[in-house]
Structure 1
Amino acid sequence: MSSPSSDRPVAASGTFALGGDLPVHRLGYGAMQLTGPGVWGEPEDPDEAIRVLRRAVELGVTFIDTADSYGPFVSERLIREALHPYADDLVIATKGGLTRSGPDDWRPVGRPEYLRQQVELSLRHLGLERIDLYQLHRVDPRVPLADQLGELKLLQDEGKIRHIGVSEVSVEQLKEARGHAEIVSVQNLYNLADRGAEDVLAYAEAENIAFIPWYPMATGRLARPGGPLDAAAKQHEATAAQLALSWLLRRSPVMLPIPGTSRVAHLEENLRAASLALTDEEFAALSDAV
């Protein structure tokens, strides 16, 4: 008989408790790529999208990140179709605050009435009575942050949101946000090749706030033939993307990478990073390469 760890290999990535009370496996799945081109419309292969979601959970993913703007709402509806009723340990995180008028078009809207409307729609599309983690997708510069997070705090008080997160913020914005609501996660661009959010990660780690790096598998020139990532990948008989994910998991205990894909084979490849352990020397070499 196979062991639980072999049945659900993602468990090897370790766990993190969102808000101190909501444990998830640290290697999750980002559901943006389940939509059509430009993160717009239906996927080219809806059946494969369903298979990806179900396979992710089979392999031990307990944290799935999506947003109302993916599609819009296409990703959320696919998640419900594939996984509802949800497993007890599965956390579905979604986001609101970006509107869409077409492929690759993203515009922040943080008016309180709009955010309330989007929370209600996400509850309906996901088939939930409460969203475990709801993230402000972008800060709308035209609306006071107090008003944006204040509305999410009201929704939390009403029992429609369990925990609140923010996305693409500076340390100063994160500190301000924490003055209006308890913030349990921050989602910023961060990967091995682009560490511009290093200060936000450091603050999140110090405060035990989950750091969810989007675009986690970017490797840039590090994966060039003969480069440090290429050499480590050959040593581990792994892909550059797997090494990049392994580096993120090693980088900080609050790191929750969410690699996305629309293909089962690619999903399985990505999730094998959970059990890929870098040596101290390999981690240092990759860390110093940029």
Structure 2
Amino acid sequence: MQNQYSPAVRDSEPELRLSTRLGLAFLPWSPLGGISRSSLDGPSGPTSAGTAFHRIAAEHGVSPQRIALAWLLSRSPAVIPVPGAGRPASITDSAGAAELTLSTEELAQLEDVLPG
């Protein structure tokens, strides 16, 4: 199943749960939505999604994109994010998400972030 799903767009939760229950792959498109630099600064400053993902990234010494992908991977074993990459460094960074384990506390902080 392929649906839009990201830190900022989480309305495919029912489909994600169904995919998990049925053992079907869930491929989120635009998996990094909501954490790009351009989407963080709105009229009143950084969004809450940007703040949480960026803060946790700084604590781990990795990119916010890697945190977002690690968060997606933690959602379900059915999740297979396919981020776009225009540079070899982006590919390496994205691949590192598979080895990044977020703590229960960090995941709770990211869950509490209201989308967009």
Which of the five TM-score ranges fits, normalised by the shorter chain? Answer: 0.7 to 0.9
Contact 1:246 1:278 in 2 (8 A): yes
Please tell me whether residue 269 in structure 1 is matched to residue 93 in structure 2: yes
Shift of 1:219: 2.5
Alignment of 1:86-165 (within 5 A): none
* Correspondent of 1:238 among 48, 55, 62: 62
Please tell me whether residue 288 in structure 1 is matched to residue 112 in structure 2: yes
- Hey, what's the Cα distance between the residues in 2 that align with 1:217 and 1:210? 18
Please list the CA deviations of residues 135-193 of structure 1 after superposition, one character each: whole Å capped at 9, or x if unmatched.
xxxxxxxxxxxxxxxxxxxxxxxxxxxxxxxxxxxxxxxxxxxxxxxxxxx01100111
Q: Which runs of 4+ in 1 moved over 2 A?
A: none
Please tell me whether residue 188 in structure 1 is matched to residue 12 in structure 2: no
In our comparison, the structure showing a higher alpha carbon Rg is 1
- Hey, what's the Cα distance between the residues in 2 that align with 1:265 and 1:230? 18
Shift of 1:288: 1.4
Say how many residue pairs are matched.
102
More strand by share: 1
* Correspondent of 2:28 among 213, 235, 243: 213
Shift of 1:262: 2.2
Q: CA RMSD in A?
A: 1.1
- AA in 2 matched with 1:248: L
Please list the CA deviations of residues 96-136 of structure 1 after superposition, one character each: whole Å capped at 9, or x if unmatched.
xxxxxxxxxxxxxxxxxxxxxxxxxxxxxxxxxxxxxxxxx
More helix by share: 2
User: Structure 1 length normalisation: TM-score?
Assistant: 0.34
3-state SS of paired residue (1:202): helix
- AA in 2 matched with 1:204: S
3-state SS of paired residue (1:188): strand
* Correspondent of 2:14 among 169, 193, 199: 199
Identity of paired residues, percent? 35
3-state SS of paired residue (2:83): coil
- AA in 2 matched with 1:259: P
Shift of 1:206: 1.2
Please list the CA deviations of residues 244-289 of structure 1 after superposition, one character each: whole Å capped at 9, or x if unmatched.
0000000111111111112112111221111111000001110111
User: Structure 2 length normalisation: TM-score?
Assistant: 0.82
- Hey, what's the Cα distance between the residues in 2 that align with 1:240 and 1:273? 10
Please tell me whether residue 249 in structure 1 is matched to residue 73 in structure 2: yes
Higher relative contact order (CA 8 A, sep 6+): 2
For structure 1, which runs of at least 5 residues remain unmatched after alignment?
1-185
Aligned to 1:84: none
3-state SS of paired residue (2:27): strand
